Amino acid sequence: MGRVSGSGREGLFDGLFGRGAVGVSDPDWLQALLDAEAALARAAERAGLVPSGAGAAVTAAARAAEFDAAEIGRQAALTGNPVPALVRALSALVPPDARSAVHLGATSQDIIDTAAMLLAKRAIAAIRADLLVAADKTADLARAHADTVLAGRTLLQQAVPVTFGLVAAGWLAAIDESRRELGWLARRRLAVQYGGAAGTLASLGGSGPAVAALLADELGLAEPVLPWHTERLRILQLAAALAGVCAALGKVARDVTLLAQTEVGELTEGAGDPGQGGSSAMPHKRNPVAAVLVLGCARRAPGLLATLAAAAEQEQQRAAGAWHAEWETLSDLLRVTGSAASWSATLLTGLRVDAARMRANLDASGGLLLAEHVAALLAPVVGNLAAHDLVAGAAARAAADGTGLEVALLSEPDTAAALAAAGLGAAELAAALDPAGYLGAAAEFIRRGLAAHAHVDNQPRKGASSGER
């Protein structure tokens, strides 16, 4: 279901690109800004800088429903961001003896950056939950279809046999890796921002670092080594991880759309809701809606990542425009990533595998997918290049006349002689052309993927180190 927009209504496209539990609407942003202000007031009280009870008073007033987001937005046009207007509105709701705790020592960027980190943390929890569903369902597919043979395809052409279990294991590895990366970021790189006017917290004297540590504790975010007003690597890392999620899920969705084509028919999406997959013009259509919408979300991620990468180079102690470019861009990236994850959970939960169609499509080539296998068996007798050329010639004849690779191999005297010299009689050649006998390490790779999946949350990010507190 789509999130409620800032206007209080669901948008026309929210059910498509705002699906799932990621919240980055105006109310979500407003509450995150207020949560940052409230946590700062509590931290200041814990540090002994404001009267007892001030933190609780600010927290009690910091409820988004009590604020006029539209009016704050209008006032933001006067100052370049919504925080000054928010601070005035919040102060008006706080008892006079607690107002000194509002926005103590902070600058607008402190509150907006910290709110962005809160939104990211909440969004990552929702995204990872959907990724876990998707990964578990993919693991089920890998287990169930470890021996289901289908045509492996390279450059969109049939290549050699694989198993659908191996295909699913490949999907699983990418989903698990993206989930692991998000978990690491949530624990280590989502940090509070608290630097005051220019990153020195001068207005707090020597108390600034202590308040920053308490603020991090209040919000459950990391404490950075120092303020990061114009050092935006953590934003870029977050964006890259979100784009990585979209890439992993887009790969799954693209494979599904290709294998769900009418002429291929190896996969179909589950029925889902009544009418899902229908066409406005063609009554017979059953479109792969979930996969298409995953791709629609995923296609937007690279552009959003590029904008955030461009915005990462910022001037001196406060950026003139680059910081401002981050707000809606990051929101959009969180939103489409959350939607892609939610649609992927639905897609993989209902995905239907037609093993018989997979085998029929594989057999339709008349054994051509096993040409590499036959060449490998001939190579010890005639050499690698000669074996390749002999089998390539037979494959070309088989494709031209439709007789199949076995007939083409045996009908050419030189090739038949080489087969005989290699000890490949009729029975041995038939075995060599059995797809199930040429799967290499597919079973082992599936086992490894499933074993890794079972321990995703216990595996540290390789090479990770951080100075965050």
- pLDDT tens-digit readout, 375-407: 999 999 999 999 999 999 999 999 999 989 999
Which pLDDT does position 9 carry in this prediction? 55
Which pLDDT does position 468 carry in this prediction? 72
- CA separation for the pair 17, 339 (Å, rounded): 6
Confidence of residue 458 (pLDDT cuts 50, 70, 90): confident
- CA 452 to chain CA centroid, Å, is 18
Q: What CA–CA distances, in Å, run from 45 to 41, 196, 218, 357, 416?
A: 6, 17, 12, 68, 89
- CA separation for the pair 412, 435 (Å, rounded): 23
- CA separation for the pair 379, 383 (Å, rounded): 4
Could you please state the CATH topology (level 3) that the domain comprising 108-359 is classified under. Answer: Fumarase C; Chain A, domain 2 (1.20.200)
The domain locations on the chain are: 108-359, 368-432
- Mean pLDDT, range 21-49, rounded to an integer: 97
- Mean pLDDT, range 192-211, rounded to an integer: 96
Confidence of residue 275 (pLDDT cuts 50, 70, 90): low
Of 173, 178, 330, 165, which Cα lies nearest the Cα of 239? 330
Q: Which two tokens stand for residue 172?
A: 């699983």
Confidence of residue 69 (pLDDT cuts 50, 70, 90): very high
- Mean pLDDT, range 312-336, rounded to an integer: 97
Which of 46, 254, 286, 318 is labelled catalytic?
318
Confidence of residue 285 (pLDDT cuts 50, 70, 90): very low
Confidence of residue 464 (pLDDT cuts 50, 70, 90): low
Q: Is the dihedral of CA 137, 140, 146, 148 positive or negative?
A: negative
100-120 pLDDT per residue, tens: 999 999 999 999 999 999 999
For 131, the enclosing helix (H) or strand (E) is: helix 108-144
Confidence of residue 467 (pLDDT cuts 50, 70, 90): low
DSSP state string for 432-445: HT-GGG--TTHHHH
- The residue with tokens 């690698």 is 384
Which pLDDT does position 88 carry in this prediction? 97
Asked if the model's pLDDT at residue 205 lies above 50, the reply is: yes
Full-model pTM: 0.91
3-class state of residue 169 by DSSP:
helix
The answer to which of 2-6, 138-142, 202-206, 437-441 has the lowest mean pLDDT is 2-6
Which pLDDT does position 182 carry in this prediction? 97
108 a catalytic residue: no
419-431 pLDDT per residue, tens: 999 999 989 999 9
Asked if the model's pLDDT at residue 282 lies above 60, the reply is: no
- CA separation for the pair 403, 209 (Å, rounded): 79
Report the mean per-residue pLDDT for the chain: 93
Alpha helix stretches (DSSP H) within 145-232: 164-188, 208-219
3-class state of residue 113 by DSSP:
helix
The answer to which of 71-75, 84-88, 141-145, 286-290 has the lowest mean pLDDT is 286-290
Total number of residues shown for the chain: 469
Pairing of strands 149-154, 157-163: antiparallel
Q: Integer distance in angstroms from the first to the last C-alpha of the chain?
A: 37
Asked if the model's pLDDT at residue 45 lies above 60, the reply is: yes
Which pLDDT does position 112 carry in this prediction? 98
Which pLDDT does position 8 carry in this prediction? 46
For 29, the enclosing helix (H) or strand (E) is: helix 26-46
The amino acid occupying position 450 is: L
Residue 277 neighbours by CB distance under 10 Å:
17
Of 449, 361, 362, which Cα lies nearest the Cα of 141? 449
- CA separation for the pair 201, 264 (Å, rounded): 63
Cβ contacts of residue 302 below 8 Å, gap of 6+? 243
238-260 pLDDT per residue, tens: 999 999 999 999 999 999 999 99
* Stronger pLDDT, 346 or 8, i.e. the higher one: 346
Of 317, 363, 347, which Cα lies nearest the Cα of 253? 347
- Mean pLDDT, range 128-143, rounded to an integer: 98
- CA separation for the pair 406, 385 (Å, rounded): 20
Q: What is the dihedral of CA 106, 112, 114, 115, to 10 degrees?
A: 130
Query: No. of H helices and E strands in the chain?
Result: 19, 4
DSSP state string for 218-280: HHT-BPPSS--TTB-HHHHHHHHHHHHHHHHHHHHHHHHHHHTSTTT-SEE----STTTT--S
Which pLDDT does position 11 carry in this prediction? 82
Confidence of residue 5 (pLDDT cuts 50, 70, 90): very low
189 a catalytic residue: no
Which of 279, 299, 448, 469 is labelled catalytic?
279
- CA separation for the pair 286, 269 (Å, rounded): 9
